[in-house]
Amino acid sequence: MAKDPRYSTVYKLITSGQLNSLAEMLVIVPKTVLARDLGMHHITLNKLLVHPGKFKLEDIYEIASLVGVENKVMLQLFYNETGEKKAKRKK
């Protein structure tokens, strides 16, 4: 099966620095298409999108492969989505 052409649009936006989060990617590539290409049920994908930190590295690397970017670029995209929030220290 051929890759969805919208992945090339996502690739261009990521490499140009215009796309910085997973949510922005899902505006271009529908969740159902991504779920099908990852081989998971769309409900499972929806649950993972609510808690992006629960994605397996294997899935993140597969998304990177679909888009055509390096794994570390996709990891950065996920980090932007889940990034550590600096906890304020209580005195």
Tokens of 3: 């890759």
φ, ψ at 27 (rounded to 5°): -70, -35
Residue 43 backbone zone (phi > 0: left; psi -120 to 50: alpha; other: beta): alpha
Taking the C-alpha atoms of residue 13 and residue 66, their distance in angstroms, rounded to an integer, is 14
pTM of the prediction?
Answer: 0.83
Q: What are the pLDDT digits (tens) for 35-79? A: 999 999 999 999 999 988 899 999 999 999 999 999 999 998 888
Q: Would you say residue 8 has pLDDT above 60?
A: yes
Q: How confident is the model at residue 25 (pLDDT cuts 50, 70, 90)?
A: very high
Taking the C-alpha atoms of residue 85 and residue 21, their distance in angstroms, rounded to an integer, is 16
Decide if 29 contacts 7 (C-beta within 8 A). yes
